[in-house]
């Protein structure tokens, strides 16, 4: 897939992966990797940007006597996600028509 | 490469990127390597999958540039908004002050004139001059002040309006002078 196109999807993919439960770096990468190829180094700036835009917030939890950083979708993030979802629903109609 | 070595190299290379989140980046990699190992992956293998340090640094550098550009663009929009607001505010204050001066000047003129007329009528009708003479002079003074203020306000407004005309005129004069100079050379 075109890398620019993929980049546009990544933020939404991460938000979607956080929709039902909080998650941490390694797990988010694993989840998102199921649908697109993404490297660990690409994921860092995406998480950072989501945090800067206040679409996600982070908190630290102790796990196996070390600190793990968890990401949680904010209400602003939920709004953004549902906006994107309704856009994608419209797009899906277009894709379906083209791909029929 | 083991985790400690990888993180050490990353730390050294991060110094070449202008960013203030080196610690955050290092703990991000530290955490995902740990999580991968806990998940049963081979440490060295996973680290080699992360790509070279140079590639990682390059990704961060690109993102820093991107965020910087975004910030600059936001700043310039903000500055434009502030400038416009300041201009509107300045002009409103100017208009208000001019309006007040003109109004007060106008009322001074009216009250001055009426006082003068009133006191001169009284003076003409009755003999008692003392108080009315003072009143008439007072009316004269008030009338004068009012006239000056009124004129000031109107002039101020006029200058504001004609400033651009004067500027254009000056530019025209300068242009002609320059042409003359060139001719002489």
* pLDDT band with cut points at 50, 70 and 90 for residue A80: very high
Domain ranges of chain B: 3-76
- With a cut of 90, say whether residue B156 has pLDDT above it: no
How big is the CA angle at B33 (ends A29 and A51), to the nearest 5 degrees? 50
Question: A41-54, pLDDT tens digit by residue?
Answer: 889 889 988 998 89
CB-CB under 8 Å, B29 with A40: yes
Give the minimum alpha-carbon distance from A30 to chain B in angstroms, rounded to a whole number: 10
- Does pLDDT of B66 surpass 90? no
What integer best gives the mean pLDDT of chain A?
Answer: 90
C-alpha distance from B46 to closest chain A C-alpha (Å)? 10
- Asked if B32 and A67 come within 8 Å (Cβ–Cβ), the reply is no
B35:A26 CB<8 A: yes
Residues of A in contact with B21 (CB under 8 A): 48
Taking CB atoms and an 8 Å limit, are B31 and A24 in contact across chains?
A: yes
* Higher-pLDDT residue of B91, A3: B91
Per-residue pLDDT, B185: 61
Burial B9-37 (b: 16+ CB within 10 A, else e): ebeeebeebeeeeeeebbbbbbbbbbbbe
Bridge partner list, A60: A69
Determine the Cα–Cα distance for residues B105 and B109; give it in Å rounded to an integer: 6
Distance (Å) from the alpha carbon of A86 to chain B's nearest alpha carbon = 26
Listed ranges A82-86, B88-92, B109-113; the one with the highest mean pLDDT:
A82-86
Give the pTM: 0.58
Q: What total of structural domains would you count in chain A?
A: 1
Question: How many cross-chain Cβ pairs, A to B, lie less than 8 Å apart?
Answer: 51
Residue A39 pLDDT more than 70? yes
Nearest to B56 among A41, A64, A67 (CB): A41
Q: The domain containing residue A83 runs over which residues?
A: 3-99
Mean pLDDT of B46-69: 83
State yes or no: pLDDT of A22 exceeds 70: yes
In CATH, what number is assigned to the domain containing residue A34?
A: 1.10.10.10
- Which chain B residue's Cα is nearest to A45? B63
Q: Which of A39, A52, A64 sits opposite B51 (nearest CB)?
A: A39
Residues of B in contact with A27 (CB under 8 A): 35
The answer on pLDDT for B100 being more than 90 is no
Query: CA of A70 to nearest chain B CA: how many angstroms apart?
Result: 11
For A41, which of B36, B38, B55 is closest by C-beta distance? Answer: B55
Q: Select the more confidently predicted residue: A91 or B76.
A: A91
Residue B184 confidence (pLDDT): 66
């Amino acid at each position: 897939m075109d890398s620019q196109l993929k980049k546009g999807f990544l933020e939404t993919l991460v938000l979607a992966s956080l929709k039902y439960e909080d998650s941490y770096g390694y797990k988010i990468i694993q989840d998102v990797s199921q649908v697109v190829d993404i490297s660990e180094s690409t994921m860092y700036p995406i998480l950072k940007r989501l945090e800067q835009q206040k679409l996600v917030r982070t908190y630290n939890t102790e796990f196996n006597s070390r600190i793990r950083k968890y990401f949680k979708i904010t209400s602003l993030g939920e709004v953004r996600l549902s906006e994107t979802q309704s856009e994608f629903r419209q797009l899906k109609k277009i894709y379906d028509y083209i791909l029929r | 490469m083991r985790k400690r070595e990888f993180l050490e190299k990353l730390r050294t290379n991060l110094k070449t990127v202008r960013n203030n989140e080196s610690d955050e980046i290092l703990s991000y990699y530290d955490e995902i390597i740990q999580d991968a190992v806990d998940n049963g992956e081979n440490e060295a293998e996973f680290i080699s999958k992360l790509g070279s340090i140079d590639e990682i640094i390059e990704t961060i550098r690109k993102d820093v540039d991107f965020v910087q550009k975004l910030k600059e663009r936001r700043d310039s929009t903000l500055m434009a908004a502030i400038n416009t607001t300041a201009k509107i505010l300045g002009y409103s204050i100017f208009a208000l002050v001019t309006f007040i001066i003109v109004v007060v000047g106008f009322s001074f003129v009216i009250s001055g004139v009426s006082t003068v007329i009133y006191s001169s009528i009284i003076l003409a009708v009755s003999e008692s001059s003392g108080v009315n003479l003072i009143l008439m002079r007072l009316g004269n003074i008030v009338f004068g002040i009012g006239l000056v203020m009124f004129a000031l306000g109107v002039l101020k407004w006029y200058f504001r309006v004609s400033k651009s005309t004067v500027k254009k005129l000056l530019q025209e004069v300068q242009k002609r002078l320059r042409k003359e100079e060139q001719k002489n050379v």
